[in-house]
Structure 1
């Protein structure tokens, strides 16, 4: 099983950074981050600037449910934290 390397700063979730590539064509001059959403089992890409602004590395002491956001992103209940 692939372990998460990153989580979204606001909505949580488990993501694995797969690779970084330089963009081509209209994206020339930008770096792209390829990542896998481990909850949805899909791969996506975003700009490096977006990645750095909206995702962060998983800390060793992050809660495995909320990934440090303070709420259970699976049930979406911010009023009832998962134990963070």
Structure 2
């Protein structure tokens, strides 16, 4: 399912880039996907400004990863318990 989610995001991003290039083809005929990525990097707000923000962002990501792993382990254990495979 993660692969399908990834591919959906890739297709949406590709569609956005194609639409932007078409919308600006008269004024910027050499506009590339790389140019659009640079524009977005410049225009979108940056959440990480200080070292403390970076540390908080990493800690938050680690917390989310740990919760996801714990949830996956619990689901796996429930499946094993339900199928009586844990006796092996």
Q: Which TM-score tier does this pair reach, normalised by the shorter chain?
A: under 0.3
- Which protein is richer in strand relative to its size? 1
- Which protein is richer in helix relative to its size? 2
Query: If you compute each CA radius of gyration, which structure gives the higher value, 1 or 2?
Result: 2
Q: Which has the higher contact order (CA 8 A, sep 6+)?
A: 1
TM (normalized to structure 1)? Answer: 0.23
